[in-house]
Amino acid sequence: MAALRCLLLLLFAPVLQAADVLLLSEENPPLNFTRAGQPSGFSVELVRLLAAQAGDRAEIRMEPWTRGYSRAQREAGVGLFSTARTPERESRFQWVGPLMQARTCFYSRRVDKLRVDSLEDARRLRRLALPRQWYSTDYLLAQGFDNLFTVASQDKMMHMFALGRGDLIVASDIAVPQLLGLRNLRMEDVQQQHCFMEHESYLAFSPQTDTALVARWQQALHTLYRDGRFQHSYRRWFADRPLGPRLEAVLGQVTR
């Protein structure tokens, strides 16, 4: 009988240890990236706090963006972060956030001496290389851009940009220094051009995920807002970066 009990424990142990949610992310420092073989970054730290506050077991896994984006639209119990919440994506996910506010801009090589003051200026250029299913790619396609060359990853985008095979890159102001570092470029090597979008990043759960779980995680985030753990984590990662007016407003509503 003792041997049978041990066997049953061995059989069911993997099920008992299974994660309640699978959270997918990509290499996008400083929000989410791999350090010493483990997921790290501001958003990673935050979702771990959320899981603990919500009382759920979460597995964080780094995957290519296009794969994670697809899974997070069709598999129950799957979330994707950090995900820009845009009108084009609104109905595709259930949202927990906001986690971060950022501004999206065009960047050119400084040696090219381009001037891009509007979307129309960018539309007239030869080629813009952008990763597939990025929020900025979706937005520009919706604006009728026909000079986009979509690639599999941000690394491929930076490779084309460094070789002069794309006139501009599109990036958030928080991510662009790390993107440039992928190709040994510095901020001094590029010129910020027209900034065309401000967005908030969220944790995006699939439509099939239990709505009670999503509500529990949103409530957990509100708790982090109120007790100051969110602000403490933010200041550790971004000591000199303001929260931004929209995120400040959200915190003010929750904490008042």
Q: What is the pLDDT of residues 218-241, one digit of tens each?
A: 999 999 999 999 999 999 999 999
Residues 155 and 242 in one domain: no
Residues 186 and 231 in one domain: no
Dihedral of alpha carbons 225, 228, 231, 236, sign: negative
H helices of the chain, in order, are 2-16, 42-54, 65-74, 119-123, 135-142, 154-162, 176-181, 211-227, 229-237, 245-255
Number of domains the chain contains: 2
Is the pLDDT assigned to residue 156 strictly greater than 60? yes
CA atoms of 245 and 133, how far apart (whole Å): 27
Q: What is the pLDDT of residues 51-73, one digit of tens each?
A: 999 999 999 999 999 999 999 99
Residue finishing a domain among 198, 214, 237? 198
In a domain, 45, yes or no: yes
Tell me the pLDDT band of 198, cut-offs 50, 70 and 90.
very high
Tell me the pLDDT band of 161, cut-offs 50, 70 and 90.
very high
Residue finishing a domain among 174, 198, 222? 198
CA atoms of 34 and 43, how far apart (whole Å): 12
CA atoms of 225 and 231, how far apart (whole Å): 7
Residues 233-250: what's their mean pLDDT? 93
Q: What is the pLDDT of residues 14-27, one digit of tens each?
A: 443 467 999 999 99
Q: What is the pLDDT of residues 32-55, one digit of tens each?
A: 999 999 999 999 999 999 999 999
Is the pLDDT assigned to residue 6 strictly greater than 70? no
Residues 109 and 194 in one domain: yes
**Tokens coding 163:** 């070789």
Residues 184 and 205 in one domain: no
Q: The domain containing residue 55 runs over which residues?
A: 19-101+200-255
φ and ψ at residue 191, rounded to 5 degrees:
-120, 125
Residues 147 and 188 in one domain: yes
Residues 27 and 144 in one domain: no
Residues 160 and 135 in one domain: yes
